[in-house]
Amino acid sequence: MNTSKTSFLSTVSLVAIIGALSFSAHATDNLDVWGGPYFALGGAGKFARGESDLEAYGFAEAGYDFAVPNSKFIVGAVGNFDVGEMEDVYDGGFEYQIGNSWGIGARAGFKAMHSMLLYGVAGFSQAEISGACGGKVKCPKGLSDFDDSWESGYFVGAGVEKAFSDHVAAKLEYRYEDYGDVEDLDDMDSHSVRGSLVFRMGKHGDDY
């Protein structure tokens, strides 16, 4: 993907999400939407170590939150599927791609106010990873072409979620994914900044 185009789209997306998180805070201070099922749709800017550019991914997410009684804490489960492809250059000119990925895990958060949640998230992840010696590049010692394979790893992250009504919120999250050693490539990992719109279902009330 064109670097300037990707950077422009990523910048616009982040500005929009950040603006949404700060919009009309006084009007939503009394909302309490945390708890129950939800789904989210969004986009992510991802990059890896080496010479990769920021690449755009799309993702869908679903989860369920539980409000801890008589407290400001939230715990829950969340799963996601990301669609996209990121190319990177490993030591010696070896090219590899991190493609579609999915993850499932848990998150725990603290209600900074009725309408804003600060949280951490962690869990299991898998990604499609492939590699090749591009063009006339000679494969570094110990490396050879390999096709897409689903590699397992983990993710950790942190974020903020801001509610605008009983059923609609916006979320901004940083996430780190690590897939370990793949085909003699050391420490395959990626970083992402993820923005999404969250749609919550069910009834909500003041629980603290």
pLDDT digits (tens, 9 = 90+) for 174-189: 999 988 766 556 667 8
pLDDT of residue 172: 97
Which range marks the domain in which residue 196 is found?
3-24+34-200
In a domain, 174, yes or no: yes
In a domain, 207, yes or no: no
Residue 137 is classified by DSSP as P
91-130, pLDDT tens digit by residue? 556 677 788 999 999 999 999 887 899 999 999 999 988 7
pLDDT at position 99, please? 85
| 3-state SS string for 88-119 | EECHHHEEEEEEEEEEEEEEEEEEEECCEEEE
> Who contacts 152 (Cβ-Cβ below 8 Å, separation ≥6)?
124, 125, 126, 179
pTM: 0.75
pLDDT tens across 126-164, in order? 998 877 665 555 555 555 555 567 889 999 999 999 999
Residue 120 lies in a domain: yes
pLDDT value for 208: 32
Q: Is residue 17 part of a domain?
A: yes
Place of tokens 């969250």: 198
Classify residue 150: in a domain, yes or no: yes
Q: The CATH number of the domain where 100 resides is what?
A: 2.40.160.20
> How wide is the angle at C-alpha 127 spanned by C-alphas 123 and 129, nearest 5°?
145
Domain count along the chain: 1
For residue 201, pLDDT over 70 is answered with yes
User: What pLDDT is attached to residue 33?
Assistant: 73
pLDDT of residue 145: 53
Residue 206: inside a domain? no
CB burial of 30-49 (b: ≥16 within 10 Å; e: otherwise) equals ebbbbbbebebebbbbbbbe
Residue 145 phi, psi dihedral angles, 5° rounding: -60, 145
Give tens-digit pLDDT for 62-79: 999 998 888 889 999 999
CA atoms within 13 A on the CB side of 128: 12
Q: Is position 73 within any domain? A: yes
Residues 6+ apart with CB under 8 A from 2: none
DSSP result, 46-98:
EE-SSSPPPEEEEEEEEEEEEEPTTSSEEEEEEEEEEE--EEEE-GGGEEEEE
CA distance 63 to 82: 15
Distance between CA atoms of residues 4 and 107, nearest Å: 34
